[in-house]
């Protein structure tokens, strides 16, 4: 599959040319038989959107879709997505004004810079390395019962508890609160997502979000008293020292938890899926554990969690020959870009030996993923452990994959992934 070369992001000089005709909407295009037009909200494509992405890269690299609120522009080719991520003055992350939550992905500089610096020191590779023993211990704790049972749900039985226990330790939250933290995290993610796309709420997500914030305030009070060295304790000190407001501190803690839990859960589940598709990799990594790092980088490229990054244009700009007007709502598609054959030959194939340099699986530019070192650690440990312990990993054909639906439309991946496991016998 071929993607044509892309042009630079080009500001439009209206003094030299009049307003350009808008491209047709997604539903007005001639999509292939059996493939419904790509929509802004579509449970049918959210779970596994890659066939749509491939068609879009080749035929509509800048796709305009209608929604009740406004048109939404989707950008799918690698060069275009990467350039937009590196142009925050044109593609602003502040899609809602004023910003309703202290979530880093909703801010531009200088507020983004200030807030990111508050938590950045807690996510350095050196800081994250302190958690490796705990991650390994918990990975054994959750995987061993699955092996003994002959399988289970890779999401509920392994990925959720591992990511929950890790991010909770980072924030110094007790294990006894995991269940309500998971509920609040999911509700907050939903609330954040609809705010980011100016959508109306229909459920309890707003109330649950503010219950979460109240819990986090009490938690930070405790962490400050205890002089905790956790990320939560660090944010609490910034609050008490006047470097953050109470609102900023609560919401930053929520952002760390939500971002660190949900995205990693899906990435871990996708590791199980890839092993089921290429079982020979179990033996390879068992013999060469260092290759787990190659596996994880290719996994982030091939089946990364984050599908959409929201932006709003601050001026007219031309992308791939299409003029996007100022004030347009844009969705950058990093998962589509990561399979662009112009950047990664045979990009629709998982190839552990591929050069993955430049992949967008953990973001790019000023909004590159702050928690990437932690996500990499959890996933590398998981890949090493699966290879060391399993002789066979297959999908349970009686229970098809159930995909994440709705939520905030940002992420895509398994909500339930049932697997059958056989222990490796040397």
Q: Does pLDDT of 342 surpass 70?
A: yes
Q: Is 20 exposed, middle or buried (0-12, 13-18, 19+ CB in 10 A)?
A: middle
| CATH class held by domain 10-423 | mainly alpha
The residues, any chain, with a CB within 8 Å of residue 351's CB and separated by 6 or more, are: 298
Least confident among 114-118, 208-212, 280-284, 404-408: 404-408
Please give the model's pTM, rounded to 2 decimal places: 0.92
Structure tokens, 397: 């054909």
Torsion over CA: 142, 211, 256, 173 (sign): negative
Contact between 337 and 3 under an 8 Å Cβ cutoff? The reply is no
- Render pLDDT for 256-299 as a digit per residue (tens, 0 to 9): 888 888 899 999 999 999 999 999 999 999 999 999 999 999 99
Bridge partners for 317 per DSSP:
11, 324
Pairing of the two strands 390-395 and 418-423: antiparallel
Sketch the domain layout of the chain as residue ranges: 10-423
Q: List C-alpha distances in Å: 306 to 116, 133, 161, 300, 408.
A: 19, 27, 20, 9, 11
Q: What are phi and psi of 232, to 5 degrees?
A: -60, -40
| Helix (H), strand (E) at residue 216 | helix 205-226
Instruction: Please give the Cα distance from 184 to 205 (Å, whole number).
Output: 8
Nearest to 84 by CA among 423, 379, 276, 318: 318
Structure tokens, 225: 């008293």
With pLDDT > 70 as the criterion, what percentage of the chain qualifies? 92
């Amino acid at each position: 599959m071929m993607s044509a070369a892309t042009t630079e992001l080009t500001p439009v000089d209206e003094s030299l040319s009049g307003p350009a005709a808008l491209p047709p909407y997604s539903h007005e295009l001639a999509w292939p038989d059996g493939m419904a037009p790509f929509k802004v909200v579509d449970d049918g494509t959210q779970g596994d959107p890659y066939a749509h992405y491939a068609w879009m890269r080749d035929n509509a690299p800048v796709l305009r879709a209608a929604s009740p609120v406004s048109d939404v522009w989707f950008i799918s080719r690698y060069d275009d997505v990467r350039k937009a991520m590196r142009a925050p003055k044109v593609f602003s992350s502040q899609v809602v004004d004023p910003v309703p939550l202290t979530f880093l992905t909703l801010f531009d500089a200088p507020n983004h810079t200030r807030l990111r610096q508050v938590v950045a020191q807690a996510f350095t590779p050196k800081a994250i390395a302190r958690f490796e023993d705990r991650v390994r211990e918990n990975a054994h704790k959750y995987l061993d019962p699955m092996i003994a049972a002959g399988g289970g749900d890779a999401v509920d039985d392994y990925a959720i508890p591992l990511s929950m226990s890790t991010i909770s330790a980072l924030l110094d939250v007790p294990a006894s609160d995991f269940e309500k933290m998971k509920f609040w995290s999911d509700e907050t993610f939903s609330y954040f997502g609809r705010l980011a796309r100016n959508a109306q709420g229909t459920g309890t997500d707003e109330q649950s979000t503010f219950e979460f914030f109240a819990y986090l305030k009490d938690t930070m009070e405790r962490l400050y008293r205890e002089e905790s060295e956790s990320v939560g304790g660090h944010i609490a000190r910034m609050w008490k020292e006047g470097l953050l407001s109470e609102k900023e501190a609560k919401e930053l803690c929520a952002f760390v938890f939500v971002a660190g839990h949900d995205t990693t859960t899906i990435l871990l589940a996708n590791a199980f899926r890839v092993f089921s598709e290429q079982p020979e990799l179990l033996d390879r990594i068992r013999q060469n554990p260092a290759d787990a790092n190659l596996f994880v980088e290719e996994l982030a490229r091939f089946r990364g969690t984050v599908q959409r990054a929201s932006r709003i244009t601050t001026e007219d700009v031309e992308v791939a020959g299409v003029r996007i007007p100022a004030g347009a709502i844009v969705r950058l598609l990093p998962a589509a870009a990561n399979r662009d054959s112009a950047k990664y030959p045979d990009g629709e194939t998982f190839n552990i030996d591929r050069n993955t340099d430049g992949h967008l699986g953990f973001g790019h530019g000023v909004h590159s993923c702050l928690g990437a070192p932690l996500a990499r650690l959890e996933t590398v440990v998981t890949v090493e452990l699966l290879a060391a312990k399993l002789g066979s990993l297959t999908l349970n054909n009686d229970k098809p994959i159930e995909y994440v639906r709705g939520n905030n439309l940002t992420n895509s991946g398994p909500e339930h992934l049932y697997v059958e496991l056989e222990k490796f016998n040397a």
